Amino acid sequence: MSGVSVTKAAEDAVPAANDLVVLSNVNKHFGALHVLQDIDLTIARGEVVVVIGPSGSGKSTLCRTINRLETIDSGAISIDGKPLPQEGKELARLRADVGMVFQSFNLFAHKTVLENVMLGQLKVRKTDKQGATEKARSLLDRVGVASQADKYPSQLSGGQQQRVAIARALAMDPKVMLFDEPTSALDPEMINEVLEVMQQLARDGMTMVVVTHEMGFARSAANRVVFMADGKIVEEAAPDQFFSNPRSDRAKDFLSKILHH
């Protein structure tokens, strides 16, 4: 599998120019809870990293620090060689560079599907209206919901709404896309249509960090699986290696639970 060689390369000496997201010795507390503990994680350009681990292990918090929805207490995070900006316009630009797709789709309820995908282009990227419309329509087509453009989010199925949320993030030409359990609020028959869009993105070379327990996706699309527990990265490996031969007891225990229920 091609992913294995990419992972190997990532673990060996990757030239710095190829590093897109770098977390170095990142720590974060929520009060007494040490939610991220000495996190070192480097994501190469074009790499797809799946993050899995038990509930409360810090997966969402990790994602949220990467686009600074959460601040960190110590350590450093950089994207494309630049440290995360603290505030203001720079921060807005960073948020646009880092697309985020959540479990709950977070679309604007009072705007149409098309308007949802246009908004960030107009406000943050300062695209003109015609350009934003054309791009929005083309992205809606790419995620398979072109015919829903003039509806409101509540008139769409969950799977369709999530695909619109992906199109909205893509409209900003992000450097990296973060997905936090994008399919876990969906009815089973809608999970695949969202995963297929994500698979295609991965094949197109998008750099992606995906929190998911969808093993099929991890096996077919990920270059690397990162296993978190209790705020730490416990184990990292190529998907085949991780699922067939986890090294840590914590990962073995976790996999036995999710694979057998």
Ligand X SMILES: Nc1ncnc2c1ncn2[C@@H]1O[C@H](COP(=O)(O)OP(=O)(O)OP(=O)(O)O)[C@@H](O)[C@H]1O
Could you list the residues that contact Mg ion (CB under 5 A)?
60
Residue 27 β-bridge partners: 74
**End-to-end C-alpha distance for the chain, whole angstroms:** 28
Task: Tell me the pairing of strands 224-229 and 232-237.
Answer: antiparallel
Contacts of ligand X in 32-71 (CB under 6 A):
33, 35, 53, 55-61
84 versus 143: smaller Cβ distance to ligand X = 84
Q: Taking CB within 5 to 8 Å according to partner kind, which of ligand X, Mg ion, none is near residue 58?
A: ligand X
159 part of the interface to ligand X, by CB under 6 A:
no
46 versus 56: smaller Cβ distance to ligand X = 56
Element (H, E) at 259: helix 249-259
Element (H, E) at 32: none
Q: Taking CB within 5 to 8 Å according to partner kind, which of ligand X, Mg ion, none is near residue 67?
A: none
What is the C-alpha to C-alpha distance for residues 170 and 100, in angstroms, rounded to an integer?
A: 9
28 part of the interface to ligand X, by CB under 6 A:
no
30 part of the interface to ligand X, by CB under 6 A:
yes
Q: Taking CB within 5 to 8 Å according to partner kind, which of Mg ion, ligand X, none is near residue 250?
A: none
Q: Taking CB within 5 to 8 Å according to partner kind, which of Mg ion, ligand X, none is near residue 57?
A: ligand X
Note whether 248 and 52 are within 8 A (CB).
Answer: no
Residue 52 β-bridge partners: 227
